[in-house]
Structure formats: structure tokens, C-alpha cells
Structure 1
Amino acid sequence: MSTFKAVILKGEIHKKNDGTSNVKIRLTHKRKVEYISTDLFLKSDAFNNKTGVVKSGVNKSYINLRIADFIYNFQKKDIELGGRRDSMTIKQIKSYLLDKAENSGHIDFFKFAKEYLNSIDSKGTRRWHESTLSNLKSFGGSKLPFSEINLDFLQRFERYLRMQGVKGGINNYMRSFRAIFNKARDTYNDEDSGVIKIPHYPFRKYKIPKSTPKSKMHILTIDELKMFINYKHNTPGEELAKDMFLLMFYLIGIEIKDLFYLKKAINDRVYFERFKTCKEFSIKLEPETFAIIDGYFGDADPCFGDIDPPRRKWFKEQIA
């Protein structure tokens, strides 16, 4: 069992300008010592360090009661540790004693998520989580205590995503949400010392929707692709849609954002890092690809990344 005693540390370094020193509670555990500061200040000659009580002064009775209250509360929390105390260091016990009942109602999800994302090296993983956080803030505001994240919240967030037109991507958003929640529990909960600040786990009852596999109806046969290539458009809008589809097809299914930021080709190849996953790609430009690019930007601008701002703005508006 830990022991507690009120003391005033000696030395000028511990004195304030008015000559008073802080009354501290000395914690002793396994022959190690730590000190816990209080809001009480006294002159050293008014305090008995051997007995740990105030011996003189107008308010000595009140201050002695305050000291006794500090020690009582610390002893109570120490007793509640039970056998766990034996496996704890003195610093862990001090941290436990000073824990001001911070729980899931006081810990903000977004604040933790921001700190967690700063520790992630993978750009792709950060972007994955940032997208989830953006949707969560749009759904519930900029503050989100962990205590409010329950089964009902998860279900309402899923419904919100569906109302925003998200379908198969719900799986990605909810897995990201769960990953951050799990990391927070690992950070704030210490089962060995009995400190559990986030005791609930709503994902235990919540079933994350499975990713929707792409329908075979979305896959073009070779004959259908030939028909599409030979299709004669009727409007400029149809022409743009057809050209952009084929351009993305010729560039092995490039995402529209990656397409927009492509840089000039080098030796008839384009090199880029995919925004979503940060994976690097090198793609050979076939004659059909050049035909589309030249049709929009001419020989001087073989890719979109270097076109002048007005034409870049026009192109972005067309594909938005």
C-alpha cells in the first residue's frame, strides 16, 4: 500500500517571493518517492514537517483539514487500485491519483483524430481518414465527445452518408471511423492499471456494410467497346464525355483527379502518383491517347498539368 504525508520542501528554490512554500503531498511506493502539489502555501516555520501538520497561524485548523482531505482522497483512490498497485510504477500511481475523472464525455474525437493523423506516415492513410473526418464534421459539427459515439450515432451517420449518395464507400468511411476509435481506446485505456477512460465500444453491435461488388452490368465487352469508339456524337457534351471516358480507359483507368493533374509526357510516357493511394504509375501513351489530347490542347500541351490557367479552368468546369 502506498503512503502519503504532507511536507514542505526545503531550500530557497521552493520559496515564492513572499517567503511561502507550497505544501506538497509526498507519495511513497516501493521505496520510491514522488511529490504532488496542492493549492496551499505556508511559511516553513508555521509547518511541522515531521508530523505533516500546520503548527501555527490564524487558519491552521482550516489548512489542516484541507491537508487531511487531500490525503484521504488519495488514500481512497490508492485502496481502490487493490492488487493492481503491485504491478504499477510510482509514476503510474501518481498519474492515476491526479486523473481528474477525465472520461469519454470530456475527450473530443476530432482533437484526438488530429493528433493521431499527425503521427501517420502514409499519405494515403491520412487522406482516407481525413475524408471520414470531413463527413463526420458535416454530419455532427466540429465537436464530438467519445461518449456521444454510440450505436444510434453510427446508424444515423450511415443514413447520412446514404443521403449524400454514398453507396459502396460507406464501408471505407466506417472502417476508418472504427480504426480511429480503436486507436483512441488503445491510447486512453490502460487495463493493467485499471484506468478505462473510454469503456464503451459501439462497433461491437454495429455491423459495417460490406463493400458492394461491381456489377457485371458495368463491364463492357470488346464488341461494346468498339461500338462506343465508333459512336458518332450529336452534341459537344457527348463528344467530351466520350473522349474523357476513352482517355481514362487508355490510361489504364486513371482517376479524374489524377488525370487533371498529369504533367507533360517524357519519352511518350506519363508518370504520376495516385492521389488516393500515393502509388506511383508509369503509363505509355498510345497513338489513340495522343489523338484525344492533341484534339483538346494541341501539340504544345501533351498533358493537362501544364496548360494555361484559363484553359485549365475551362477543362475542370467541363469534367466537374
Structure 2
Amino acid sequence: MASVKIKFQPDRPNGGKGANVCGDEEGHIVLTVTHNSLSRSVATDYRVYSSEWDRRVSRFIVPADSSRLKLIGNYREELRRDVGRLRRIIISMENRDMDFSADDVVEAFRMFVVDYSLRAFMTHQIEFLKERGRLRTAETYSSALRSFMRFRRGRDLLLDCLTQEMVMRYESYLRSRGLTPNSTSFYMRILRAVYNRAVEQGGVPQEMPFRKVYTGVERTRKRALTLTDIRRILRLDFRSSPSLDYARDMFMLSFYMRGMSLIDMAHLKKADLEDGHITYRRRKTGQCLCVAWTQEMQYISDKYNLATSPYLLPLISPGSKNTRVAYRNVAYRINRSLKIIGAMIGYGSPLTLY
């Protein structure tokens, strides 16, 4: 069975940084993997003095210099993780009945920082989702990754360093930016799913870092638009603002179509309109629905009709190479304009189309 040992290795006389004021020898910590009588070492960046290391039990000693307490504490935690990684790699290889060597263990340990950094691992999951055609889920994973990297100010980290304390600080960061509990939960659930996937692969131990943050879904009170609100939206004069006029038209069209979602509206084809009815299949559920076509709908359709387009509405340009990206961009512009319109009529919640 392979083993892992920790040693203090003094610097060479001409290669070290010298001793401290107490005359202690300076050196660094080395991890040694032994298997089948062959040993291989992994040097670390943990530089300590001989007085800060107990050679008998291979562990740190509280330093006499109080200014080094935090540094030694960090070293202790990082070394614990390093040893844990090596032991998980060894157990994984042994469980798979692999014919492995100490070199294989050391190489796998060095690759861990590549395979299990949060950015690299999550990017791999995003690409996997795209390959399976789950584009919307891939977009939400990308959004969560960007959010967490902003919290980290661009600094990546290994997944086994995702502690309960860090996750709680991330939740506080999100709330400080005005996000609701449901919104913070959205990011937490995605990160938890990524973390659990790494646990399933055996690369990360399950330490339950998300147990003290909110990951549920609260029911939100729906505030319905009144008929008065609808009339006020219709009466707004947007002749000098084509973008607001366009957003208002798409909103009203959704209203006329019994609350049809924006993504279903975007993919309506002219062929879907027949005998005074629109027949379509919901992209979210696959349910087939039929809606009567009215004069109000025809007016908006004629206003934006493009003869060369197969689409009934002007939400996706016929020449778009990536319809998903084209829809996402136009949906963003519409909802941004709808928030302005909602504020103009004094509506208490953001006016949006989904």
C-alpha cells in the first residue's frame, strides 16, 4: 500500500535564505509518496524554520514569533488539504485495481490543480451541457461562474477549498448587491451541483459547505397588472422612442396571446398562423396550444412584418447564425425597456417578459 509522509527539508548552505534571529535553520516542507519501495517527493512552497516544525510527529509548532502565527496557520490548512488530496488519489487508484507507481500518484496530484480548479471544472461542465443541447442550463452555469469570479476578484480556487465560511461570505456579497433570497439561492444551487459532481468523481471530499446558506425557493407574491395598468401602457406616447414602442408592442402581444412566453413568441413561424388561429408547441413543456388570432395581434404583426423572414414576429433576425444568442440579446433589450415602462406607470414590480 502506498504511503504519504511529511518532512522538513533544510535549505542547502548556499541556497537558503539563512536563519532567523534565533539562529533557526530555514527550510521547506516536502511530501513524500512511497509505493513498492519507490519514493517520489513533491516540494511545497511552505517555508518554515526548524523551530516551527516537530520532526518527531511531522507537524507544525506554534511559532515564537507572533507575526508568523497567521502564516503558519495557513500552511497547516494547506498541508492538510495536500495530504488529503494525495490519499484520495491513492485510494482511488487502489479501488480501481490499477497497477500504479509513486510517479503516477505525484503526476495525478500535480494535475489536480488543473482538473479541479473551480473555473476549469465548471467550464468543463458548461461545455458538456452544450454538447447535450442543454443551452439554457449552460447559460445559467456561465452566469453563476461569472458571478463567483467577480466575488473572488478573478482569483480561481480549488474545489476542495470551497469552505462553508467562503460560501457564507459569497451569499452576503450577493445580498449586499440587492439580490433577493431566491436569486442568491439560484447561484448557490448551481455551485452546489458543480461541487457535488466533483465529489461524485472522487476528486473532492464531501464537507457540506452549503449547509448554512439558503438553497430553497420561496413562493413570491404575484402582482397582477390591472386593466387600468394595461390601458395606461397603451396610452403612453413612444413616438420619439422606438425601443420603448417596440417593447410595449411585444408586451401587449404576449398579453393578447394569453400570456405567451417571449421565447415561444420569438420562434413562431408564419406557417403557424392558419384559419385565424396560432398553433404552437411550448418550448418549455412541449404542450401544444392554440390561440385565436385577433385584429390587435394582426396590427402589431403588420407593423413589424418582414417579407423575407419565416418568423411571424421580429424577435429573431432571419440571418442569425445562433438563434439562441439572438433571442437572448433581444430579450435583454426588451426587458430593460419594460422596466422603464413599468416605472413610468408606477408599477411596483419590474415589468418583464419571460
Report the TM-score range of the alignment, normalised by the length of the smaller protein.
0.5 to 0.7
1:219 equivalent to 2:188? Answer no
Deviation (angstroms), 1:303: 1.0
| 8 Å Cα contact 1:262-1:304 kept in structure 2 | no
The residue aligned with 1:266 is 271
Matched residue pairs, number? 232
Deviation (angstroms), 1:203: 2.7
Question: What pairs with 1:1-320 in structure 2 (closer than 5 Å)?
Answer: 71-73=37-39, 89-91=97-99, 97-98=105-106, 101-102=109-110, 107-120=116-129, 121=132, 122-140=134-152, 141=154, 143-167=156-180, 168-187=182-201, 189=202, 197-199=203-205, 201-216=207-222, 218-220=223-225, 224-225=226-227, 227-231=228-232, 233-236=235-238, 242-256=248-262, 259=265, 261-268=266-273, 269=278, 271=280, 274=283, 284=291, 286-287=293-294, 288-294=296-302, 296-298=303-305, 300=307, 302-305=312-315, 320=336
Deviation (angstroms), 1:148: 3.6
Distance in 2 between residues matched to 1:246 and 1:304, nearest whole Å = 14
* Aligned amino acid, residue 150 of structure 1: T
Distance in 2 between residues matched to 1:249 and 1:146, nearest whole Å = 45
Distance in 1 between residues matched to 2:216 and 2:331, nearest whole Å = 35
Distance in 2 between residues matched to 1:118 and 1:185, nearest whole Å = 19
* Aligned amino acid, residue 198 of structure 2: A
Instruction: Report the 3-state secondary structure (helix = DSSP H, G, I; strand = E; otherwise coil) of the residue aligned with 1:284.
Output: strand
Q: Which structure exhibits the higher relative contact order, with contacts defined as CA atoms closer than 8 Å and separated by 6 or more residues?
A: 1
Residues 91 and 125 of structure 1, relative CA distance in 2, 3 Å threshold: farther
Distance in 1 between residues matched to 2:178 and 2:159, nearest whole Å = 27
The residue aligned with 1:24 is none
| Identity among equivalent pairs (%) | 18
The residue aligned with 2:28 is none
Q: Deviations over 1:197-220 (max 9, x none)?
A: 52362435333242231204x134
| 8 Å Cα contact 1:103-1:198 kept in structure 2 | no
* Aligned amino acid, residue 143 of structure 1: D
Q: Deviations over 1:27-52 (max 9, x none)?
A: xxxxxxxxxxxxxxxxxxxxxxxxxx
Instruction: Report the 3-state secondary structure (helix = DSSP H, G, I; strand = E; otherwise coil) of the residue aligned with 1:183.
Output: helix
| 8 Å Cα contact 1:272-1:282 kept in structure 2 | yes
| 8 Å Cα contact 2:315-2:330 kept in structure 1 | no
* Aligned amino acid, residue 219 of structure 1: A
Distance in 2 between residues matched to 1:198 and 1:306, nearest whole Å = 43
Distance in 2 between residues matched to 1:97 and 1:166, nearest whole Å = 44
Deviation (angstroms), 1:178: 0.5
| 8 Å Cα contact 2:119-2:156 kept in structure 1 | yes
TM-score where L is the length of structure 1: 0.54
Residues 282 and 161 of structure 1, relative CA distance in 2, 3 Å threshold: farther
Residues 163 and 254 of structure 1, relative CA distance in 2, 3 Å threshold: farther
Residues 88 and 263 of structure 1, relative CA distance in 2, 3 Å threshold: closer
Distance in 2 between residues matched to 1:149 and 1:83, nearest whole Å = 22
Residues 163 and 83 of structure 1, relative CA distance in 2, 3 Å threshold: closer
Bigger Rg over Cα:
1
| 8 Å Cα contact 1:270-1:282 kept in structure 2 | yes
Instruction: Report the 3-state secondary structure (helix = DSSP H, G, I; strand = E; otherwise coil) of the residue aligned with 1:219.
Output: coil
Deviation (angstroms), 1:150: 1.5
| 8 Å Cα contact 2:189-2:215 kept in structure 1 | no
* Aligned amino acid, residue 210 of structure 1: G
Structure 2: which 5+ runs fail to align? 3-33, 41-82, 320-326, 337-354
Distance in 1 between residues matched to 2:268 and 2:93, nearest whole Å = 61
Distance in 1 between residues matched to 2:158 and 2:92, nearest whole Å = 29
Deviation (angstroms), 1:249: 2.5
